[in-house]
A and B are shown apart, each in its own frame.
Chain A
Amino acid sequence: MMENAWLIPLFPFVSFVVLLVVGKQLKERSAYVGMLLTLLSLVFALGALYERWTSPTYKQAYTWLTIGDVDITVGFEVNALNALMLVVVSLVSFLVHTYAKGYMHGDERFPVFYAYLGLFTFAMLGLVVSPNLLQTYIFWELVGLGSFLLIGFYFYKEEAKAAAKKAFIMTRIGDVGLLIGMILLFLEVKSFEYEAIFAALQQGDVSTTIMTLSAILIFIGAIGKSGQFPLHTWLPDAMEGPTPVSALIHAATMVAAGVYLVATLFPLYEASEVAMTTVAYVGGFTAIFAASIGLVQTDIKRVLAYSTVSQLGYMMLALGSAGYVAGVFHLMTHAFFKALLFLAAGSVIHAVHTQNIEQMGGLWEKMKWTAPLFLIGTLAISGFPFFSGFFSKDEILIAAWTHGHVGLFVVAVIAAFFTAFYMFRLFFLVFAGEARTNVHNVHESPTVMVLPMIVLGVLAVVSGYVQTPWGAFLGEWLTEGTNWHAHTEGPSWIMIVATIVSLCGIALAWLIYGKRAIARDWLSSRFPLTYNVLMNKYYIDEFYGLTVIRAASFISLLFEYIDRFLVEGLAQLFAATARGVGRIGSRLQNGQVQMYGTVTIVALAILVVIFAVTGGYL
């Protein structure tokens, strides 16, 4: 199965091409093409995972580009980390393909949507099987393309247009960091292969400066893709895309690519203490920063988006605290419960046709499936005991604590409290109480949408049990053949603290939004300034608008003036001189012999002088 792993990304690509060509004829039957081909990917991915369980890493490479005497290769690889990722990605993709059949029903560009989904899935799976940095970068950019196309799917909406553009450009800023880091590493190691890079690191062939520099530059790429501070602003805006897309790309898979990249290059980060600390601090800061914004947002998808940013920060914090297993584990559980939350949110939006949680309420009665599934997702992300998020978040806290990042540990605990609070705020506002606006015809979504949610709901509960304090199956498998910790023994009070904090968050949300024992405008009336800052996302967008964008337009304007006046002016001056000389010349041609005689004699005199000075030969 592993030697056929190259087929896994190829199936969705076939779907993309087929739907591009005959989608118009297939109409909504396009969904079956997409579903079937991603199902094939899933089957092959499961096969690869199963086989990798017992056999060693499989890798193949072919020459792709020759520069001088260096051969750059492409190929594919199945190792523990990417076998796991293959299954997660193809599974979520398949579920989203299924769900979207119901969600996108009736859309004019239905086949296009499925074609784009295919393109994205191809790129994401291609990213995961890449055995070298360059190939990773290639697919890294292609997932960006898929994300861009799907964010801009409702192209006629100005917001979608702006969001798509912003997503592409913000992530590209990060990508340039990745590109530079990658090239620097290549020039040092003379290879893009991960194996070669790690071997060079072990032998100490890479200078410390280059190592740290490229690790940090590559991390900038991860910051862009995974929506970490300060390049996070595109991710909440990306919610303009259709909700299944938000679930697949902007929650479960693509945004996790940054975490995946750092995990893949873990030996590089391990070798550089500075880079490692940077990762931890950026992650920790993002975790609490985004969670605090999530506390006050009123758009259901945006709350989830900030929660994604925050959770990705958690994963980075884990990796930066040497918690390789913790980071990857949380990546997996998060993929399941966040995809579930998004799909459930989509189901809600599908039913009530608004995204504003202020206008929802009382849906528990009306959506018999969606509501409990959303609750499962909420419990999982809040770290409620014995749900998947509980175990993975616990691993992260232990990693941060045992690595000695006490400050970051505290930050992570507070962020966990925020998470529990804003998620249950969301839950109570949407599902509890009475309907706040008279929305008619609220109905449960069709089966084709509910089924994928049920699968994810099950996974959101059980996927935590692969790595518990009592047995570290996942960790042992992932760290086989390395000296990384399969599981870090942490003090048991951490788990108790985490549980209490999460319960407190839930309780507070219940008091305010469920029981309404505390006034809802408690924060906004007491601390209007804090509230406004949070509501406006710390004014980061405004800040970029005033600085970066202003500067760019100023430079543009400046160049425009230079081009129009200086450059063109010089050219005109040149032309005018030529014209002037011509005019003088033509005035000399006035038909008078005396004038011609004068010119001849003057010219002769000049020639004599030149000959005398240069000695006869130029």
Chain B
Amino acid sequence: MQPYFLSLLIFSPLLGILVLSLLSKEQEKAIKWLGVLATLPSLCLSLFAFWQYQNGYDISKLTEKRSWIQFGEFPFLKETDFTVAYELHVDGFALVMIVLTTILATLAAIASTSIQKEWKGYFQLFLLLEIGMLGVFAASNLVLFFIFFELTLIPMFFLIGKWGYFEKEKAAYSYLIYNGLGSAVLLIVIAVLFARTGTSNIAELRYILTNPAVQTISPISDDLRYGLFIALLVAFGVKLPIVPLHRWMLRVHVQAPPSVVMLHAGVLLKIGAFGLVRFAFGLFPGQFQQFSTSLIVFGIVNLLYGAFLALRQTDFKMVLAYSSVSHMGIVLIGLGSLNEAGVQGAIFQAVSHGFIAAFLFFFVGVMYERTRTTTLVRLGGLAKTMPYVSGFVLAGAMASLGLPGTSGFISEFMAFVGAFQAAPWLAAIGTLGIIMTAVYLLRAVLGMTFGQTTVSNVSDLRGIEWVPAISLLLLIVIIGVYPNVLAMPLQTTIETMMNGLGG
């Protein structure tokens, strides 16, 4: 099964899409169950792969390669030049991201039971989105990466535009335009690299671009490298997002249905981090190195800008949206530190924030379903009427503000160890963010759960809702209590990256 394992993992939601199309639109229960069920094959496969990897299995054996597209024949070139193969490959980092995706997909599917209309279309798009996300992490050439990257765009557009809140159309267009522009920039980079080197395989490109001795088909000057590097920074900066490219994601956070935001904040934003590590860092380590201090500065801007703005928001969803901006700053700070601790912290933050953001947005959905509001002042005193929900939200906030014992602490801690090593003064400014995070999260969460009770007659957590709540909290705590469960799989990736720097 090895030769098809990754394809199977990525495309297994397709089965769900097909079966769903056979069902009648009205069978609400069946559709919802099937929607959840369809996410399980990839979840099991990814967990199996992760477990095998933890036990020393060499996951490079999973690499798949089939010839796919050939652009003409050139007698003066190698046979493989200007061909694009269908090729998949995962390393520890990609595998971790895939596991993150499959877990969140299943849990978000469970959370999707609160979707009110047109379940069939919803789950089909949802599963298509999962395929896109999984493909992004497993693609081993740029063309395939780009196809999967775009594949996430379309279902997401409809999921926001059709199942969102009041200003859903505006949010959907905003999403499409920002990300479409990012994609366009990315496409230019891919086209230029392909034209100049004749390959789009990421590993080959890394070899070609980092070894000055290698002759390319047409030359790649230093200026061009800078151009491409900055283009990549913009393309993935939209996704992450880097301030000031963040406005679109605020709207998505607020307008999209919470189950979709679980995936959006949990996984889609992380594609930005993944892209920065894989391409900006992987292909242009030299340029990355020269930009590293600027990246830390960008990171601190994100961290503080998001934190101070979150302090003023009156809607819990907006608080969380700005909190995402702020937390992605930690990713930038870590990456910009360019040392083991920092980079490991950045990747940890990507994973950890994935779980925490999904966890908190799950409860946004739960609270909205019962109270029809996410406005802070209108939710006061929830601890009385919904003690379990309030407890979980508080736990989520604690994880988000980096309380030790949760994954949030480990990532923040490592990122700052890295930053203090690289740029102590900047790091010292950044620590202000640690305080501000506590301030805005406590303000928001205590505003909702403490004080006089304003909402009555609402039920607490029930039935299947316990599944996402407990599993996400467990994941957050497990990483927080035993971080090596995540650190070990990442070792090779980080080592490779550090070797790429090579002084």
Chain A residues near B (Cβ < 8 Å): 63-68, 137-139, 141-142, 145, 152, 155-156, 158, 160-161, 164-165, 168-169, 172-173, 176, 179-180, 183-184, 186-187, 552-553, 555-557, 559-560, 563, 566-568, 570-571, 575
Which of A141, A165, A559, A568 interacts with B446 by CB under 8 Å? A165
User: Which residues on B sit within 8 Å (CB–CB) of A168?
Assistant: 438, 442
User: Contact: A187 with B417, CB < 8 Å?
Assistant: yes
A156-B450, A169-B442 as given contacts; A67 in contact with B488, CB under 8 Å? no
User: Contact: A142 with B438, CB < 8 Å?
Assistant: no
User: Contact: A142 with B403, CB < 8 Å?
Assistant: yes
Q: Which residues of B378-421 have CB atoms within 8 Å of chain A's CB atoms? A: 381, 383-384, 398, 403-405, 409-410, 413-414, 416-417, 420-421
B371 interface residue (CB < 8 Å to A): no
A139 to B409 Cα, complex, angstroms: 12
A145-B398, A156-B381, A179-B431 as given contacts; A67 in contact with B450, CB under 8 Å? no
Q: Which residues of B236-295 have CB atoms within 8 Å of chain A's CB atoms? A: 243-244, 246-247
Which of A160, A186, A552, A567 interacts with B244 by CB under 8 Å? A567
User: Which residues on B sit within 8 Å (CB–CB) of A67?
Assistant: 340-341, 344, 414, 417, 487
Which of B410, B417, B438, B487 interacts with A169 by CB under 8 Å? B438
User: Contact: A556 with B488, CB < 8 Å?
Assistant: no
Which of A173, A180, A552, A571 interacts with B247 by CB under 8 Å? A571
A169 to B311 Cα, complex, angstroms: 14
User: Contact: A180 with B428, CB < 8 Å?
Assistant: yes
A186 to B421 Cα, complex, angstroms: 10
Which of B403, B409, B413, B491 interacts with A66 by CB under 8 Å? B491
A584 to B413 Cα, complex, angstroms: 53
A553 to B443 Cα, complex, angstroms: 13
B482 interface residue (CB < 8 Å to A): yes
A170 to B328 Cα, complex, angstroms: 25
**B297 vs chain A, min Cβ distance (A):** 16
- Can you name the residue of chain A whose Cβ is closest to the Cβ of B440? A556
Binary contact track B470-489/A, C-beta < 8 Å → 1, others 0: 00000000000011100110
User: Which residues on B sit within 8 Å (CB–CB) of A184?
Assistant: 420, 424
- Can you name the residue of chain B whose Cβ is closest to the Cβ of A112? B387
A165-B443, A567-B244 as given contacts; A186 in contact with B312, CB under 8 Å? no
Q: Which residues of B330-364 have CB atoms within 8 Å of chain A's CB atoms? A: 339-341, 344
A68-B340, A169-B435 as given contacts; A138 in contact with B404, CB under 8 Å? yes
Listed A/B pairs (6) with beta-carbon separation below 8 Å: A65-B484, A66-B488, A139-B404, A141-B404, A184-B424, A563-B305
User: Contact: A183 with B450, CB < 8 Å?
Assistant: no
User: Which residues on A sit within 8 Å (CB–CB) of B451?
Assistant: 155-156, 158, 161
**B435 vs chain A, min Cβ distance (A):** 6
User: Contact: A165 with B404, CB < 8 Å?
Assistant: no
**A300 vs chain B, min Cβ distance (A):** 25
- Can you name the residue of chain A whose Cβ is closest to the Cβ of B384? A156
User: Contact: A155 with B450, CB < 8 Å?
Assistant: yes
What are the 7 A-B residue pairs with the smallest beta carbon separation, nearest first?
A: A68-B340, A138-B404, A161-B450, A155-B450, A567-B244, A65-B483, A556-B308
User: Which residues on A sit within 8 Å (CB–CB) of B438?
Assistant: 168-169, 172
User: Contact: A176 with B404, CB < 8 Å?
Assistant: no
B30 interface residue (CB < 8 Å to A): no
User: Contact: B417 with A183, CB < 8 Å?
Assistant: yes
B115 interface residue (CB < 8 Å to A): no
A68 to B344 Cα, complex, angstroms: 9
- Can you name the residue of chain A whose Cβ is closest to the Cβ of B445? A165
User: Which residues on B sit within 8 Å (CB–CB) of A560?
Assistant: 309, 312
A187-B421, A552-B439 as given contacts; A66 in contact with B431, CB under 8 Å? no
B453 interface residue (CB < 8 Å to A): yes
User: Which residues on B sit within 8 Å (CB–CB) of A161?
Assistant: 446, 450-451
A121 to B436 Cα, complex, angstroms: 28
User: Which residues on B sit within 8 Å (CB–CB) of A566?
Assistant: 244
B449 interface residue (CB < 8 Å to A): yes
User: Which residues on B sit within 8 Å (CB–CB) of A179?
Assistant: 413, 416, 431, 434
User: Which residues on A sit within 8 Å (CB–CB) of B446?
Assistant: 152, 161, 164-165
A187 to B443 Cα, complex, angstroms: 34
User: Which residues on A sit within 8 Å (CB–CB) of B305?
Assistant: 559, 563
A67 to B491 Cα, complex, angstroms: 8
Count: A-B pairs, CB below 8 Å:
123
**B237 vs chain A, min Cβ distance (A):** 14
- Can you name the residue of chain B whose Cβ is closest to the Cβ of A166? B442
A169-B439, A183-B416, A570-B244 as given contacts; A559 in contact with B434, CB under 8 Å? no
B52 interface residue (CB < 8 Å to A): no
14 further A-B contacts with Cβ under 8 Å, apart from A152-B446, A553-B312, are A63-B484, A67-B340, A68-B494, A139-B404, A152-B450, A155-B384, A155-B451, A168-B442, A176-B431, A180-B431, A556-B308, A556-B311, A560-B312, A570-B244
A165 to B443 Cα, complex, angstroms: 8
- Can you name the residue of chain B whose Cβ is closest to the Cβ of A560? B312
**A378 vs chain B, min Cβ distance (A):** 35
- Can you name the residue of chain A whose Cβ is closest to the Cβ of B344? A67
Which of B341, B409, B482 interacts with A68 by CB under 8 Å? B341
User: Which residues on A sit within 8 Å (CB–CB) of B2?
Assistant: none
A171 to B253 Cα, complex, angstroms: 31
User: Contact: A64 with B483, CB < 8 Å?
Assistant: yes
User: Which residues on B sit within 8 Å (CB–CB) of A155?
Assistant: 381, 383-384, 449-451
B452 interface residue (CB < 8 Å to A): yes
User: Contact: B442 with A165, CB < 8 Å?
Assistant: yes
A476 to B452 Cα, complex, angstroms: 55
**A544 vs chain B, min Cβ distance (A):** 13
A155-B383, A552-B439, A559-B308 as given contacts; A142 in contact with B431, CB under 8 Å? no
Which of A139, A173, A180, A571 interacts with B420 by CB under 8 Å? A180
A609 to B421 Cα, complex, angstroms: 52
A303 to B434 Cα, complex, angstroms: 32
**A323 vs chain B, min Cβ distance (A):** 31
**A618 vs chain B, min Cβ distance (A):** 11
User: Contact: B442 with A183, CB < 8 Å?
Assistant: no
Binary contact track B100-112/A, C-beta < 8 Å → 1, others 0: 0000000000000
User: Contact: A183 with B404, CB < 8 Å?
Assistant: no
User: Which residues on A sit within 8 Å (CB–CB) of B381?
Assistant: 155-156
**B125 vs chain A, min Cβ distance (A):** 26
A66-B491, A563-B309 as given contacts; A186 in contact with B384, CB under 8 Å? no
User: Contact: B309 with A64, CB < 8 Å?
Assistant: no
Which of B308, B420, B434, B435 interacts with A555 by CB under 8 Å? B308
**B138 vs chain A, min Cβ distance (A):** 26
**B212 vs chain A, min Cβ distance (A):** 22
User: Which residues on A sit within 8 Å (CB–CB) of B452?
Assistant: 156, 158
**A110 vs chain B, min Cβ distance (A):** 14
User: Contact: A567 with B247, CB < 8 Å?
Assistant: yes
**B460 vs chain A, min Cβ distance (A):** 12
**B180 vs chain A, min Cβ distance (A):** 12
A567 to B245 Cα, complex, angstroms: 8
User: Contact: A557 with B312, CB < 8 Å?
Assistant: yes
A555 to B307 Cα, complex, angstroms: 11
User: Which residues on B sit within 8 Å (CB–CB) of A141?
Assistant: 403-405, 409
A479 to B477 Cα, complex, angstroms: 39
User: Which residues on A sit within 8 Å (CB–CB) of B344?
Assistant: 67-68
